[in-house]
Structure 1
Amino acid sequence: MKFSRFRLGFTLIGAPRLVLGLSSYANEFITPDFFLAKNWTDATQYARNAIVQGAAQIAGEGPWTVTSKKVMPPTNNTHDYLTTGQTVQTLGIRPPLLPNKVGAPKHSLSRLLVGRVWEPKLRARGHRIVQTSSLMPVLFKVWTTCEYVNRDGLFNPDVREVNDTGLFQAMSDSVFFNSMAWVITGDDTYASNAANEVKTWFVDSATAMTPNLNYAQVKRGPGVQIGQHTGVLDLKCMSKLVSGVLMLRNGSASAWTSDIDSGLRSWVTSYIGWLTTNDLALQEKASTNNHGSFYFNQLAALQVFVDDTAGAKKTVQEYFEGIYQNQISANGDQPLESARTRPYHYRAYNLAAMIVNARIGQYVGYEAWQLKTKNGTTIQDACNYAMTFTAAQSNETGYDAELYPNVAAVASIYGDPDDKYSNWLASRDTSFPGQPYFLWNQPLSNAGLSGVPSSSSNSSTPNTTGGSSGSSNYAGNRVETGKGLAWLSVTPEPQSPPHITLSTPSTEHIFTMSQLQQEWEPVGRAYATITNGCATIGDVCAVIGGANAVISEQMPRIMANNTAQVEAMLREMENRLAASITEGFTALRNEVAGVRDDLNDRIDTLTQAVQVK
């Protein structure tokens, strides 16, 4: 049986085990020598388990390829990378709102594809719509007679219909985590996963991407369809990919063949040429905010890959002596990021880029950690300032975790003698030692380890098998209930039946699998209710999609006869469609709220009605 729980955040599959989902961090660069040395403490075993289990899960969704898109770039060459500008169409017609595919296999990286907000120019007082993974394709159309406009923080939902961005990010994350999983376990399966994904995206002639971003974030509308400089940001995660590849190369992974290495080197060499000479790339380089910071991440990491250490050092130096000087104010704020519509996110975002630039600099012999801006501030000051906010303060609830890896990095680099950073992390997420970033941000106090089962409850060695049911270790996840925070873990110990341990700061409970399955049967029925509800909404969306198709067919006539009567008709049709969507989702939201309350009651029952250890 398989149950997924949105607030619990775990998956129970067949034989009892819990999988801690991976997060797609804004950016990372890990020194291969550090990782290959395997100088890990016992406290990092939970993070290692999360990496191994998550790597297997994400690899199962690949490999990814730029040639899989259904929409062609202006060149009609499917090998050309294509994304559409995250701009807003001026027409006041809404694409349908569609529910998630219930039960579809996915990992937390699917958040790359959802949560974007669209707001048409002609509906200043309109509803804000969140685009989700769809049951049916959103109508994709390039209007060539209407202008598209930029609105900070807002996105046309159909930009994800051409999703080379999401595919690249998923691929780079998979290479990143599978390379680490290979080092942790010694299992060549993980190295093969990473190598195959690199080969598919960059090397194989049938699927390889053209080494440029000429059609990244194409701005639609009148005139020539060409990319924008902001599209260079799409490949910012090259530093993650390079981190993984260096582990495979320096660790002599058998799956990392000379053909793959030389093929990727050839691709990167060509792309560096584009990145350092093309007008779009140079415009991005000149950006003074996070766009510029991530440009230097990307270029320096790629120069490291092709063994151009001097070039990488020069690139990092140019960043820190250039745009970095104006990125942090005297109080530690990042004014160019705070001015955005989502300041919490953008502060964390640019902070991640600054940290990566400094890490690459350290790797190639350029020390930037103590380097001050013209205002006398450092990366540490930027982190300290960002820590004084919560995401909720700027209506960004749900994005708090974006800052956590940066805080861990700053603690490990600058030191944390008074546990300031580790205590802050523990106050936000007691399970942070079980998050992947905890492994490579060392040394770091495990002040949050009280939210994790003690090592005495599991004397086995760390799980290095990807979480199979026969493993003698456990995986875990943080659980929030009406009783407070708890850590739920699966522990199949030798010579004892598999069971689940639920630990709180004051108690520890043991569940047999028969008890667990008995309690979870009603949960399965609850999810069936949600599935049926989403299916109903899907039917509504199908009708709305048909209406949109009719509108599109009639658009030339409508535009040619732009009378007040036609405009009124369109507004009325849009209002009716929006009302239908709102009514359907209100009913579903109420249904889900009831299910959520039922699940929380079940959790409390599990906590109270079992044997106390």
Structure 2
Amino acid sequence: MLPFQRLALQIHSFAALIALVLADPNDWVNVDYVISQAKVEGRSPTADARAAIIRNAQSSAGKGPWTVTSVKDILPPSKDPHDYLSWAPYHWPNCNWCSKAGRTHLAHTSLGSGHNDSAPSTSASSVLNPDDAYENEAVLNLSHRRPRRRSHSHTQALLPLMDIGIEQGQNVIPTSVPDLPVQNTATASSLSATAIPSILPVKFSALSPPAPTSTSQSRGHGPAQAAAKTTAKTSKTSCVPSPTISLAPSATWTTCPYVARDGQVNPDVRTLNGPDAINDVAQAVLYSAVAFALTRTSIYSVNVAKWIKGFFLDSATKMNPNMNFGQIVRGPGLDGVSGTFTGILDLRGLVKIANAVAIIKAANSPDWTPGQDQQMRSWSLDYSDWLMTSPIGMKTATRPNNHATFYVSQVVATKILSGDRPGAATALQDFFAGIFLDQVAKSGEQPFEAVRTRPFHYRSFNLEALITNAKLGDQLGLNLWAAKSKYGATIQTALDFAMALDPRDEDVSQIFPHVAAVAAAYGDPAGKYAAFLKKREPTYQSKSYWFYDQSSALPNAPAKNTRRVIWQREDFSQINGSDPIANVPFECPAVFRDEASVEIDNGVYVTCEELEPYFTEGKVEITLSATLFA
């Protein structure tokens, strides 16, 4: 087997592994509905889904506990292992090392498009001369099919280093490299003998750092190993002075400027413990809480209490109630000592945590004690305060896309955990009366998601958060399903639009749970949602979401024929699910009142002019396919 074939097989196996461990999308299952389902006798229409949840709870029982402190080789800038740490997933080093023998090129394996919790694809890329790389629109926006504003680069600060398993000379870049950002032919030609890093296994090192020789790079380095060798000499161009001829690739984390490549996941972000830990504990506790309510088997509630205690409450392992170091953009400079607004997204699983606590409390579990409940209330109050008052939290709250939508989910979840139901309801009402108004065009398109490099994924991703928020509202007695955007579109409108798209090379399965949720909320008299699921995922009735997404679980949704006013406000009284909104001509979203271009992800900016076609045309670079409904 050729080296690049072995690499492809390795990446394929890694992708399969990631796909197996991915959790369900963010969700909320109505607490009263879960409790009532324990009394259902005979064969239930959701029997297969219930059985799947119980199996998943049983599988989780042998895992955990999960904590942010379980791996301490890499500490956040605070040096406190209780602080959550993650790296911005779409940022890549943009640097060349200078040395006596020539220029050192650090080759990286790009795991392709994907959100930071999605399976990678196979492609290869390399970091080239900072004067050349990422200066071409086609290079920066690899998946764009229409002009885009160039993402802004970041030069940010020092982080401790670690070995990411790069083995010297392991593999050779294959001859076909579709997304290689070649701008300098002399530079590109030298890459044929450059080592591609291995993505497995992840190893940690405590070797002494190399001593810097340049005053401009005189900051201390952390542990490093597996030095990258210098390649052949090239013409004189801009490069960063190298402390040694052979320099560890991990030195890029603190020395090279990092630039945004929207949708292109840097594989080394997976070497940190925090992101997987929160996703795993959130999914495990929700499965186990539902399983306890359905079966009254004590091991499930014991596990819920144990896992929440380990992650949030135990003094030795608890997570501090902040996201000060979420999705840090690495590189030199002072800004990198802080997290970014996108980092809050990492803790979206907190909705499942709040859901699990509410379920086991309603089920009168003796394993969730008043003392634990009070501790969790206290943690939630502290985190809610951080969300609403920290600079990071306040910036996230103003983003016009999925970041604000998921942010609201967390605010509401923490308020439910702390017992502040009126505050939770107000946060939801403010969102649907504000940011949501500009999120969905009349056609159902979501322009702030459609403009991204993976538009189908991001449409589905924001729908995930919108549906979660509507379900949270339903739990609080609100019919937010009937909320309309400025252009008269609802969550259902957005789902219908996304269903009609050709996802191209993206994962269509991301939308399946949303189809079931919309059918439950709005009804499916023509059977189009059932037909879609039956055609695309014949086993959908055995998925956990099928248990969650039943009309009986949404007592305030339109399918239950309720006509509740969403909120009593004169200025938004027309958005009550009954009064139609007249055709509204396009106007720039409110977020552009103070900014000509708006940052929608780390280093990714968009202008009103770029969004306008998505609002007015209702279709940009899409293929409608009626056969998807057949």
- Is TM > 0.5 for Structure 1 vs Structure 2? yes
| 1:54-104: CA deviation from partner (whole Å, max 9, x where unpaired) | 122133221100001221111111111101122111135125699xxxxxx
Would the alpha carbon gap of residues 311 and 142 (structure 1) be closer, same or farther in structure 2, given more than 3 Å must change? Answer: farther
Tell me how far 1:144 sits from its aligned partner.
3.0
Q: What does the per-residue CA deviation read over 1:110-162, in whole Å, with 9 as the maximum and x for residues that have no partner?
A: 97575597744427594569999722438645533321011110122111111
Q: How far apart are the structure 2 equivalents of 1:132 and 1:28?
A: 35
Rounded Cα–Cα distance in structure 2 between residues aligned with 1:407 and 1:235: 24
Give 1:53's aligned amino acid. Answer: R
Local SS of the residue matching 2:511: helix
Offset of 1:257 from its aligned partner? 1.6
Report the alpha carbon displacement of residue 191 of structure 1 after superposing the two structures with TM.
Answer: 1.1
Please point out which of 528, 539, 543 is paired with 1:435: 543
Higher alpha-carbon deviation: 328-337 or 84-93: 84-93
Provide the residue aligned with 2:56 in structure 1: 54
Q: How far is 1:271 from its partner?
A: 0.7
Say yes or no: does 1:147 pair with 2:146: no
For the 8 Å contact 2:28–2:471, the answer to whether it is kept is yes
Within 2, Cα distance between the matches of 1:434 and 1:79? 38
CA shift in 2, pair 1:115/1:202, >3 Å: farther
Give 1:172 deviation, angstroms. Answer: 0.4
Specify whether residues 118 and 61 from structure 1 end up closer, same or farther in structure 2 by C-alpha distance, changes over 3 A only: farther
1:28 shift after superposition: 0.4
* Aligned-partner residue type, residue 26 of structure 2: N
Which residue is 2:628 aligned to?
A: none
Q: Report the Cα offset of residue 406 of structure 1.
A: 0.6
Equivalent in the alignment of 2:390: 278
Q: Deviations over 1:177-199 (max 9, x none)?
A: 11111112211111111111100
Aligned to 2:294: 184
Letter matched to residue 264 of structure 2: L
Over residues 157-178 of structure 1, what are the superposed CA-to-partner deviations in whole Å (9 max), with x where a residue is unaligned?
1111113111101110111111
- Contact 2:110 2:124 survives alignment (8 Å): no
Offset at residue 390 of structure 1 (A): 3.9
Opposite residue 89 of structure 1, the aligned amino acid is P
Task: Please state which structure has a larger fraction of its residues in helix.
Answer: 1
Counterpart of 1:90, as a letter, is N
Task: Return the offset for 1:328.
Answer: 0.7
1:137 to 186, 189, 203: 203
- Displacement of 1:443 in angstroms is 3.8
Identity across the alignment (%): 34
The structure-2 alpha-carbon separation of the partners of 1:428 and 1:53, relative to structure 1 and needing over 3 Å to count, comes to: same
Q: Is the 8 A contact 1:22 1:436 kept in 2?
A: no
Indicate the RMSD between aligned Cα atoms, in angstroms.
Answer: 3.0
Equivalent of 2:267 in 146, 149, 157: 157
Q: 2:522 maps to which residue?
A: 414
Indicate if the aligned counterparts of 1:21 and 1:50 stay in contact, CA closer than 8 A.
no
1:400 aligns with 2:399: no
Which sits farther off after the overlay, 351-360 or 56-65? 56-65
2:87 aligns with 84
Residue identity in the other structure for 2:526 = D
- Quote the Cα distance in structure 2 between the aligned partners of 1:185 and 1:271: 33
- Structure 2: distance between partners of 1:364 and 1:407: 23
Deviation sequence 1:361-404 (CA, Å, 0-9, x none)? 2222332111111101101000111111243x2x21xx221101
Query: Would you say the 8 A contact 1:116–1:157 is kept in 2?
Result: no
Q: Write out aligned runs for 1:34-45 (5 A).
A: 34-38=33-37, 42-45=44-47
Q: Please tell me whether residue 340 in structure 1 is matched to residue 452 in structure 2.
A: yes
Which structure 2 residues correspond to residues 364-403 of structure 1 after superposition, within 5 A?
364-391=476-503, 393=504, 395-396=505-506, 399-403=507-511
CA contact (8 A) 2:68 2:83 kept: yes
1:88 alignment partner, SS class: strand
Aligned-partner residue type, residue 106 of structure 2? I
Residues 247 and 336 of structure 1: CA distance in aligned 2, closer, same or farther (over 3 Å): same
Q: Is the 8 A contact 1:44 1:439 kept in 2?
A: yes
Mean Cα deviation higher: 220-229 or 127-136? 127-136
Question: Aligned AA for 1:420?
Answer: K
Q: Secondary structure at the match of 1:67?
A: coil
| 2:36 counterpart letter in structure 1 | A
Q: How does 1:126-525 map to 2 (within 5 A)?
A: 126=177, 134-137=200-203, 140-141=250-251, 143-224=253-334, 225-391=337-503, 393=504, 395-396=505-506, 399-443=507-551
- CA change 1:118–1:52 in 2 (3 A) is farther
Aligned to 2:28: 29
CA contact (8 A) 2:516 2:529 kept: yes
Number of equivalences = 416
CA deviation vs aligned residue, 1:534-583 (integer Å, no higher than 9, x gap): xxxxxxxxxxxxxxxxxxxxxxxxxxxxxxxxxxxxxxxxxxxxxxxxxx
Take 1:119 and 1:321, find their aligned partners in 2: how far apart are those partners? 43
Q: Which residue of 2 aligns with 1:67?
A: 69
Per the TM alignment, residue 286 of structure 1 is displaced from its structure 2 partner at its CA by 0.6
Contact 2:310-2:317 at 8 Å conserved across structures: yes
The Cα of 1:200 is off from its aligned counterpart by 0.2
Tell me if structure 1 keeps the 8 A contact 2:109–2:124.
no
- Does the residue aligned with 1:42 lie in a helix, a strand or coil? coil
Q: 1: distance between equivalents of 2:393 and 2:347? A: 12
Offset of residue 316 of structure 1: 0.1
What is the distance in 1 between the residues matched to 2:467 and 2:197? Answer: 31
Question: Which of 74, 91, 94 does residue 107 from structure 2 map onto?
Answer: 94
Whole-Å separation in 2 of the counterparts to 1:170 and 1:118? 29
Q: Whole-Å Cα distance in 2 between the matches of residues 133 and 48 of structure 1?
A: 37
Q: Tell me how far apart the structure 2 counterparts of residues 219 and 141 of structure 1 sit (CA, whole Å).
A: 15
1:36 Cα shift?
A: 0.8
TM score, norm. by length of structure 2 = 0.62
1:25, CA displacement in angstroms? 2.5
- State the distance in 1 between where 2:45 and 2:351 align: 27
Consecutive unaligned residues in structure 2, runs of 5 or more = 1-11, 96-104, 134-138, 140-175, 181-195, 205-248, 553-630
SS in structure 2 of the partner of residue 284 of structure 1: helix
Structure 1 letter corresponding to 2:423: G
Which residue in 1 is equivalent to 2:228? Answer: none
Partner SS for 1:84: coil
Render the CA deviation track for 1:207-239: whole Å, top value 9, x for unaligned. Answer: 001111111111111222211111011111211
CA distance in 2, matches of 1:342, 1:241: 29
Distance (whole Å) between structure 2 residues aligned to residue 376 and residue 68 of structure 1 = 48
111 and 366 in structure 1: CA distance in 2 versus 1, 3 angstrom threshold: closer
Output the CA distance in 2 between the equivalents of 1:191 and 1:118: 45
Looking at structure 1, the residues matched to 368 and 343 of structure 2 have their Cα atoms a distance apart, in angstroms, of 30
Give 5+ residue unaligned stretches, structure 1.
1-5, 12-19, 99-109, 445-613
Which deviates more from structure 2 when the two are superposed, residues 190-199 or residues 116-125? 116-125
Cα distance in 2 for partners of 1:365, 1:351 equals 21
Moved more, 413-422 or 23-32: 23-32
Deviation at 1:424, TM superposition (A): 0.8
